[in-house]
Amino acid sequence: MSDLAPSGPAVLGGRDGAGLRAAYTRAPVADVPLQLAPGDAVRLSSALDREGKIPRAFEALGPVAGRDVVLVDAGGGMRARQLAELGARLTLLERDGPRVAALRADVADLTGVTIAEGSFARTNLPDSSADIVISCWSAFRDDLPGELGEAERILRPGGRLLVLHDYGRDDVSRLRGPDLPEYGAWSRRDGWFLQHGFKVRVLHCWWTFETVEDAQAFLGDAFGAVGREVGAGLRRPRLSYNVAIYHRTRGGADASEAA
């Protein structure tokens, strides 16, 4: 259920020229679903999915505990920490040397973690070296067949591929353009994912802030005029946020229960 008061349609994507700063792009991120100024990224990461539904779903669809798990585009280490807490043996990939160095510093307190340079285009990992491969928002956007082929190469028989993307039909989608593949094409029965052996589990999550004023300040800072408009309709300090995990067993035969 939405926590927004009824209102007219928002002006999407900052098209009024009022300074949309947040961009949903193909940049490598795993902690949050969009590029933000560093301070805003911290604010969103502390608000996104406080209930922990995303890591619990990874465990349910993997499982990840006690398994060799590759996290692609590991970002600032937030998802890595969640997976480590679940008992995963982690290999974290980042796309270039500076990102690898920053990630290494961010997760220096975690033990038994391998950090390497690579992406879904080229992981540089050995064949059949992973039980689970996870992508959060960044991959499976352009070269879907190529990235699927790389995942199949590094997964062991029976290995699992988990791909997290936004799903829409929520408050957060008012901040974005309406024609994104996340919001329809990918989740349809004739969409690429479901036509290539994936199943989908939808999670009903939240962006939860301490106060309505905190939420409004963040939305205005990160999204400009459209964020201020959405924020003006808030009744409680949270926005509904739906995500989809597209999940597949190596070779396309799904060993887990459909969701």
pLDDT digits (tens, 9 = 90+) for 173-213: 999 877 888 988 898 899 999 999 999 999 999 999 999 99
d(CA 139, CA 137): 6
Q: Which residues lie across from 104 on neighbouring strands?
A: none
Q: What is the pLDDT of residue 29?
A: 59
246 φ, ψ (degrees, to nearest 5): -85, 120
d(CA 252, CA 254): 6
Residue 233 CA, chain-centre distance (Å), reads 26
Q: Which residues lie across from 23 on neighbouring strands?
A: 35
Q: What is the pLDDT of residue 35?
A: 84
pLDDT tens per residue, range 24-41: 434 545 789 988 888 999
d(CA 52, CA 50): 5
- pTM here is 0.87
Residues found in the chain:
259
Q: Where are the domains of the chain?
A: 30-247
Q: What does each of the 259 residues of the chain score in pLDDT, given as a tens digit?
A: 445 544 333 333 333 434 444 444 345 457 899 888 889 999 999 999 999 999 999 999 999 999 999 999 988 899 999 999 999 999 999 988 888 898 999 999 999 899 999 988 889 999 999 999 999 998 998 899 999 999 999 999 999 999 999 999 999 999 987 788 898 889 889 999 999 999 999 999 999 999 999 999 999 999 999 999 999 999 999 999 999 999 999 987 444 444 4
Tell which CATH architecture fits domain 30-247: 3-Layer(aba) Sandwich (3.40)
